[in-house]
Amino acid sequence: MPRRASLLALLLALPLLAAATRVTGEPTAGFHGRGPGGFSLNGTTHQLRIDDDGTTLKVVVPLAGLETGISLRDRHMRERYLEVDKYPDAVLELPWSALKLPGDGQTSEGTAPAKMSLHGKSHEVQVRYRVVRTGNRYQVTGNVPLTITDYGIDIPSYFGVTVQPDVEASASFTAERA
């Protein structure tokens, strides 16, 4: 009976753990790519959510909302390259144990191993992060260099301008952690 009670308590606690970290304010996620010469390309979305099971922080970015400033380019990005219908999210899984969390009023920076899932493929990546803590609020920024061909994404090319396969993905958000 006590074992059952413990199991029940754990099951009840799991959703609480999962909800222990939540995003506040407007998050931003995106990527920065380059082409020939000084050509650059920035994609941005304000859709981002985090899932926290107490062990791993999962940052989920729905890709359908990515915008680059030109809607035809957005359409090509979604349909031809990211194939958002089939692969709607980019997901970064980051173990809490790899993060150095700062004390109250302090800042921590570092690089942590993580798993990036994109376009149906997953790879280990290194995340450069910076966390600023105020009480239980954490302002988080992170960058991940990616090679899109590693994820089976075709190299975008449009009317003579070809984007380089190496891009920088980034996210910034504020989270409250219980």
Partner 1 sequence: MSLSLGARSAHGPALLPLALLLALTMPAARAHAYPWMIQHGYTNCSACHVDPSGFGLLTEYGRAQAQIVLPTLWGKKPEDVEPTTGIVYGAVPLPSWLDVGLSLRGAVLSTTTSQGTSWRDILMIADLRAGVTAGPFIASASIGYVPTGATLAAITNQQRDNIVSREHWLGVRLVDQKLYILGGRMNLPFGLRNVEHNAFVRSATRTDTNSAQQYGAQVVWDGPGVRAGLMGIAGNYLIDDPAYREQGYSGYVEGAFSNAFTLGLSSLVTHADLGLSSIANPFVHDPFFGAADDWRQAHGLFSRWHAGGPWVLLAEADLLVQSASGVARDWGGTGFLQADFEALQGLHFIFTGEGLHQNQVTSYGAWFSVSWFFFTYAEARIDTTFTEFGVPGGGHEPSFSVLGQLHFSM
Question: Which residues would be at the binding site for partner 1 (CB under 8 A)?
Answer: 34-42, 68-72, 74-75, 158-161
- Whole-number minimum distance, CB 28 to partner 1, in Å? 13
CB of 100 to partner 1, least distance (A): 29
**Nearer CB in complex with partner 1: 67/176:** 67
Minimum distance of partner 1 from residue 11's CB (angstroms): 46
Q: Specify the residue, 55 or 71, whose C-beta has the smaller distance to partner 1.
A: 71
Least distance to partner 1 from the beta carbon of 43, Å? 10
Could you count the other beta carbons within 10 Å of the beta carbon of residue 91? Answer: 15
Residue 77 to residue 75: CA distance in whole angstroms: 5
Contact in structure between 127 and 92 (CB atoms under 8 Å): yes
CB nearer partner 1, residue 168 or residue 176: 168
